[in-house]
Amino acid sequence: MALLGFFGKKKKEFKAFCNVTHEPLEKGFGYLLTTAQVISSKKYWDLIMTEPETLSYTISHFNNQPGGTQMRHMIFEKYASVNKPWIVSDSVINYFEVDKIQARNSAQKWWESEGNYVPEASGPAVQQLDGSSFNDFKEYAVLEAGRVKASSRK
């Protein structure tokens, strides 16, 4: 039975989409990750830096064009600064080296709270990782991610 609001409107059903693939998620499914967990994945960066929207920057970067490198830096900063937790689908969870049971349990809490649950260590990655680790992930994302795919596209 639908709940009726103040003016007889139905309560809007809470829906979610994977923050990586943008595919819709069925209620109760998915995994909840922190930004630090997301940006710590080389597989994730290889995926992101070779998507159709970013591949040209990656190719430019590996052809020693500063504009491509600068754009890759901006892409890294955009993702690394996400304050909210990430809900991700079954199709991409293996890109991340995380405790899947814990991530699934966090997702359940997130669904129950209609997206308001925030796990510990959420927030921008620079605030959650030590400086050395953060810089290592940044260096990989900006300087190395997607090298194999970009090399095959030259």
Cα–Cα distance, 106 to 119 (Å, whole number): 7
**pLDDT tens digits along 94-146:** 999 999 999 999 999 999 999 999 999 999 999 999 999 999 999 999 999 99
Cα–Cα distance, 57 to 82 (Å, whole number): 21
DSSP, res 3: P
Residue 106's closest CA among 128, 124, 86? 86
Domain ranges of the chain: 18-152
